Amino acid sequence: MKIRLFPLFVFLLFACKNETPKINQSQYPEKPNIVWIVCEDLSPEHLKTYGGTGGKTPFLNALAAESVQYNQVFATAGVCAPSRATLITGAYQTSIGAMHMRTLAPSAAAGDAYPTGFKGYSTVLPEGMKTYPELLRMDGYFTSNNSKEDYHFKSPVTMWDESSPKAHYRNRPDPNQPFFAIFNFTISHESQVWMREKEELLVDPKIVKVPPVYPDDSVTRSVLAELRKAHEDWIAEFGDLGALNEMEMVRNWWGGKDEPPITLSPEVKLENGKVKLNSATSSASIAYRKSKNVGWKVYLEPFEGNPGDSLYVNAHRIGFEPSENAQILK
């Protein structure tokens, strides 16, 4: 089968610059294959297609020339983990409590920066919220991630068919299955500034255009005041957890306790040759498999089963601890 990658390489960098050509929509399949390329710590100053002088990016320039280019899309956080929480949920970090940096466990490189009494935690997503890779799996997609996650929460097994340095859409068992594949590149990560500081620069610092700063005048102050009002209106509508003490916010999620709740194990029922699964934990995602040698499936509806079959089940509300058990169907 010849693989067709449709132009959904997502450049969420900065409304449309190029006019969208008129295309017969019947040319596109109902479920197109999607590849999402993720880079780190880029800005318009790094890419020639945006007029930047900070780097040589011929392949990205060529891709941009054939793509829709966005000029008014911005990151909602200036560091990767909170940004990735937004990318995977579509929600502002401060509206879901994912605005702090790398909370799953203290980082040795920033140990002194953690508040007194800090305990590692996963962000507890709002009731009913699912990540879109899981929604795509529910719609029949094969999903893969290669390989960085860093979403501020432990990913449930329902999110990805594969998530590892070897994950690839080519690994899907059915070549006709539509796929969604993320490839993450860290070559532009801010850590490379010091990890490769002794390597030769590809761009002369003298020709780099330094971004301008805003002037302190009446026009700027008027616009900032207008934006401040819009920001306050946004907070009133969506809420903002940024002002809460971090561990107070976490204990609220945990029902006032010092440990996260555990997702309740799925209830398994075998009736008339069909297996039904349910977890009493609201918003829990449920996965199952009949052998440890196969991948997890997202539970959508009752499936076929027989007495004596082995069954492995997993329930996980994001932010809670997952539960997993194995049993013989009766």
Domain ranges of the chain: 25-91+129-195, 267-328
Indicate the SS3 state at residue 140: coil
The verdict on whether omega for the bond into residue 147 sits within 30 degrees of 0, i.e. cis, is yes
324 pLDDT tier (thresholds 50, 70, 90): very high
d(CA 311, CA 247): 38
d(CA 120, CA 200): 39
Q: Which residue has the higher pLDDT, 23 or 93?
A: 93
Measure the CA dihedral 35/36/39/45, to 10°: 100
Q: Residues 167, 101: contact at Cβ < 8 Å? A: no
**Average pLDDT for 129-157:** 97
Phi, psi of 233, deg, nearest 5: -65, -40
Q: Residues 303, 275: contact at Cβ < 8 Å? A: yes
Task: Assess whether pLDDT exceeds 70 at residue 233.
Answer: yes
**Average pLDDT for 198-207:** 77
Q: Residue 39, CB half-sphere, CA atoms under 13 Å: how many?
A: 16
Q: Residues 299, 314: contact at Cβ < 8 Å? A: no
pLDDT at 214: 61
245-290 pLDDT, tens digit per residue, is 999 999 999 999 999 999 999 999 999 999 999 999 999 999 999 9
182 DSSP 8-state letter: E
d(CA 166, CA 319): 26
pLDDT at 206: 76
Task: Tell me which residue of 174, 143, 173, 176 sits closest to 158, measured CA to CA.
Answer: 143
Question: Under 8 Å CB-to-CB from 204, ≥6 apart: which residues?
Answer: none
Which CATH architecture fits 267-328?
Sandwich (2.60)
Question: Under 8 Å CB-to-CB from 323, ≥6 apart: which residues?
Answer: 262, 263, 264, 265, 266, 279, 314, 315, 316
Which H or E run contains 316? Answer: strand 310-316
Full-model pTM: 0.82
Residues designated catalytic: 80
d(CA 151, CA 166): 19
Other residues' Cβ atoms within 10 Å of the Cβ of residue 166: 9
Q: Residues 163, 184: contact at Cβ < 8 Å? A: no
**Average pLDDT for 320-325:** 96
Q: Residues 306, 329: contact at Cβ < 8 Å? A: yes
Give percent of the chain above pLDDT 90: 58
208 pLDDT tier (thresholds 50, 70, 90): low
Instruction: Give how far Cα 129 sits from Cα of 135, 153, 238, Å.
Output: 10, 13, 15
Question: Under 8 Å CB-to-CB from 39, ≥6 apart: which residues?
Answer: 185, 187, 188
Give the lowest-confidence range in 16-25, 193-202, 226-235. Answer: 16-25
* Cα dihedral across residues 296, 302, 308, 313: positive or negative: positive
